[in-house]
Chain A
Amino acid sequence: EVQLVESGGGLVQPGGSLRLSCSASGFTFSSYAMHWVRQAPGKGLEYVSAISSNGGSTYYADSVKGRFTISRDNSKNTLYLQMSSLRAEDTAVYYCVKGLGDWGQGTLVTVSS
């Protein structure tokens, strides 16, 4: 069974940084592209970032480009999202997604002073 468990969310001040992690199990992690998708409170889904299976290619939404960095450690079956220069509008539940069919439970990031 595919399991994706996000962690690292919490309350951070504007301008601060946070690193999210997603621990994967139940599949061959190194064979799949992985994604981060977020959802602000009461709002729709927003695609944030993607990384190829070997980490060689990365993609970012314009709203986070230059501030967020996606990475992965295939030896640890873990996906990361390093977030910096955080803004209030980055407040959201962040989901780790495999292949767009398997989603984690999400981790809440709140950017507020």
Chain B
Amino acid sequence: DIQMTQSPSSLSASVGDRVTITCQASQDISNYLNWYQQKPGKAPKLLIYDASNLETGVPSRFSGSGSGTDFTFTISSLQPEDIATYYCQQYDNPLFTFGPGTKVDIK
């Protein structure tokens, strides 16, 4: 199975800060990577698909990049409503696996 790692596991940043999360796959997954946002008590929400494509309706401050094994998720200007846990997920093979998550909060 493909293993996914994320870093950091948590971070605190100020409103307006640029936030970056990295995700690494244990093998080449091309661009078959999603990024999700999950708020407490809610189902995850898809933000980015195919590593860099913004889902419809998602604010443009969210972005993704990368291919192969190394990927990056960025919030260009952190807003209070962005407090959540963020997960990467590969879908290169049928057993889609998630990263362990990155918890983002406000400093």
For the complex, give the distance between the alpha carbons of A45 and B97 in Å. 9
Say yes or no: B34 contacts A47, CB within 8 Å: no
Q: Which residue from B45, B49, B87 sits with its C-beta under 8 Å from A44?
A: B87
Quick one: closest B residue to A35, CB to CB?
A: B96
Q: How many A-B residue pairs have CB under 8 A?
A: 47
* Residue B80 at the chain A interface, CB threshold 8 Å: no
Say yes or no: B98 contacts A44, CB within 8 Å: yes
Please classify how large the interface on chain A is, using the bins under 10, 10 to 19, 20 to 34, 35 or more: 10 to 19
Given A45-B98, A47-B98, answer yes or no on A100-B43 (Cβ-Cβ < 8 Å): no
For the complex, give the distance between the alpha carbons of A57 and B94 in Å. 10
Quick one: closest B residue to A106, CB to CB?
A: B43
Q: What chain A residues lie within 8 Å of B55 (beta carbons)?
A: 101
Distance of B42 from chain A, by nearest CB (Å): 9
Say yes or no: A104 contacts B95, CB within 8 Å: no
Q: What chain A residues lie within 8 Å of B43 (beta carbons)?
A: 95, 103-106
Distance of A7 from chain B, by nearest CB (Å): 15
For the complex, give the distance between the alpha carbons of A95 and B101 in Å. 17
Residues of B within 8 A of A (CB): 1, 34, 36, 38, 43-46, 49, 55, 85, 87, 89, 91, 94-101
14 more A-B contacts (CB under 8 A) besides A44-B101, A100-B91, A101-B55?
A: A44-B85, A44-B99, A44-B100, A45-B89, A45-B101, A47-B96, A47-B98, A50-B95, A59-B95, A95-B44, A100-B49, A101-B46, A103-B45, A106-B43
**CB-based closest 10 A-B pairs:** A103-B43, A59-B94, A45-B98, A101-B46, A44-B101, A47-B96, A44-B100, A59-B95, A45-B87, A47-B97
18 A–B contact pairs at CB < 8 A?
A: A44-B87, A44-B101, A45-B87, A45-B89, A47-B89, A47-B96, A47-B97, A50-B96, A100-B46, A100-B89, A101-B46, A101-B49, A101-B55, A103-B43, A103-B44, A103-B45, A104-B43, A106-B43
